[in-house]
């Protein structure tokens, strides 16, 4: 259910907002001192909720859009110049791997369908082989094929040991993909489930509406 602070939570986790109390740790380091670029270089990937606002520049082509988080790495650029040939090769690989339907990388992103734009976003975020993925509504408003493709990718990353925070309004998606599940009500965790298979939508609903609240969770997130 939207409007319970998911947006703010993601902003804080991804470094877009530094206005928070408490502490976020990335690899045992305080995240507050890192810029967004540094967080990303540490292995954070972020699939934004609103792909047209945060996820792409609609008038730029696929190549320009798919590289914004890694053009500065030594593989793809020198001190001043971009290594265009290498970028081009990599972009073509990514377009193929993520099945973006387009004639060439010169197509501007705004001309693609929603599902294909999302594939560009996902390709960009996943291509850095991240260690942490924060996926906010990764399959919202896209076609079934693209959605199942993206879900499969998320599971592949889970299997390879990547930490993933999935935020979704689609309860089926949450129940299907998650290993652990947490419900936030009024800015606090109201329920955390380690065994997702036994959770029903009805039960989730109670936590989401604040009818039920897990008292053990005051202030703690979860213990492994």
Partner 1 sequence: MNSSTKLNILRTLLAVFIALLISFGIIFLTSDEPVKAIVQLLTGPLQSQRRFGNVIEAMIPLIFTGVGISIMFAANEINLAGEGAFHLGGLAATYFALNTALPPVISPIATILIAGLCGMIVTGIPALMKIKTESDVLVSSLMMNYLVLYFSTYVLSNILRDPAAGAVVSFAVPSVTQLGTIFNGTRIHVGLFIALAAAAIGYIFLYKTKLGYEIRVTGENREFARYSGINVVKITLVSQLFGGAIFGIGGGVELLGMYNRFTWTSLLGYGWDAIIITTLAKKNPIYVPLAAFFLAYLRTGASIMSRSTDVVTEIVTITQGIIILLVVAEQFLSKYKHKIISKEAKAALVEKEGE
Asked if residue 40 binds partner 1 (CB under 8 A), the reply is yes
The alpha carbon of residue 89 and the mean position of all alpha carbons in its chain are separated, in whole angstroms, by 25
Q: To the nearest whole angstrom, how small is the minimum distance from the Cβ of residue 2 to partner 1?
A: 19
C-alpha to C-alpha distance for 158 and 179, rounded to whole angstroms: 9
Give the range of 50-58, 90-98, 134-142, 153-161 binding partner 1 by CB under 8 A.
Answer: 50-58
Asked if residue 77 binds partner 1 (CB under 8 A), the reply is yes
The residue among 53 and 224 lying less far from partner 1, judged by its C-beta, is 53
The residue among 56 and 183 lying less far from partner 1, judged by its C-beta, is 56
- One of 35, 89, 148, 152 touching partner 1 (CB under 8 A): 35
Mark residue 141 as left, alpha or beta (left: phi above 0; alpha: psi -120 to 50; beta: remaining): left
- One of 81, 144, 202, 220 touching partner 1 (CB under 8 A): 81
**Residue pair 102/112 in contact by the 8 Å Cβ criterion:** yes
Asked if residue 1 binds partner 1 (CB under 8 A), the reply is no
Asked if residue 188 binds partner 1 (CB under 8 A), the reply is no
**Residue pair 24/30 in contact by the 8 Å Cβ criterion:** yes
Asked if residue 138 binds partner 1 (CB under 8 A), the reply is no
C-alpha to C-alpha distance for 118 and 7, rounded to whole angstroms: 18
The residue among 69 and 190 lying less far from partner 1, judged by its C-beta, is 69
C-alpha to C-alpha distance for 104 and 62, rounded to whole angstroms: 8
Closest alpha carbon to 142 in 102, 169, 115, 107 = 115
Asked if residue 74 binds partner 1 (CB under 8 A), the reply is no
Q: Which two tokens stand for residue 78?
A: 């020198």
Mark residue 25 as left, alpha or beta (left: phi above 0; alpha: psi -120 to 50; beta: remaining): beta
Asked if residue 37 binds partner 1 (CB under 8 A), the reply is yes
Q: To the nearest whole angstrom, how small is the minimum distance from the Cβ of residue 55 to partner 1?
A: 7
C-alpha to C-alpha distance for 142 and 122, rounded to whole angstroms: 13
Chain residues in the site for partner 1 (CB under 8 A): 14, 16, 35-41, 46, 48, 53-60, 64, 68-69, 71-72, 77, 80-82, 84, 103-104, 106-108, 111
């Amino acid at each position: 259910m939207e409007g319970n602070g998911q947006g703010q939570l993601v902003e804080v986790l991804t470094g877009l907002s530094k206005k928070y109390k408490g502490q976020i740790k990335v690899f045992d380091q305080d995240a507050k001192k890192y810029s967004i670029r540094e967080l990303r270089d540490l292995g954070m990937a972020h699939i934004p909720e609103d792909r047209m606002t945060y996820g792409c520049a609609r008038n730029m082509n696929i190549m320009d859009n798919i590289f914004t988080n890694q053009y500065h790495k030594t593989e793809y650029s020198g001190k001043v110049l971009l290594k265009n040939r290498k970028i081009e090769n990599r972009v073509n690989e990514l377009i193929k791997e993520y099945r973006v339907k387009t004639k060439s990388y010169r197509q501007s992103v705004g001309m693609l369908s929603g599902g294909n734009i999302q594939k560009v976003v996902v390709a960009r975020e996943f291509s850095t082989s991240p260690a942490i993925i924060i996926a906010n509504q990764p399959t919202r408003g896209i076609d079934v094929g693209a959605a199942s493709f993206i879900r499969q990718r998320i599971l592949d990353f889970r299997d390879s040991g990547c930490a993933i925070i999935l935020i979704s309004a689609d309860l089926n998606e949450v129940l299907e993909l998650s290993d652990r599940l947490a419900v936030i009500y009024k800015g606090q965790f109201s329920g955390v489930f380690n065994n997702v298979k036994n959770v029903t939508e009805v039960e989730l609903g109670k936590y989401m509406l604040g009818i039920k609240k897990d008292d053990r969770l005051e202030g703690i997130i979860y213990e492994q």
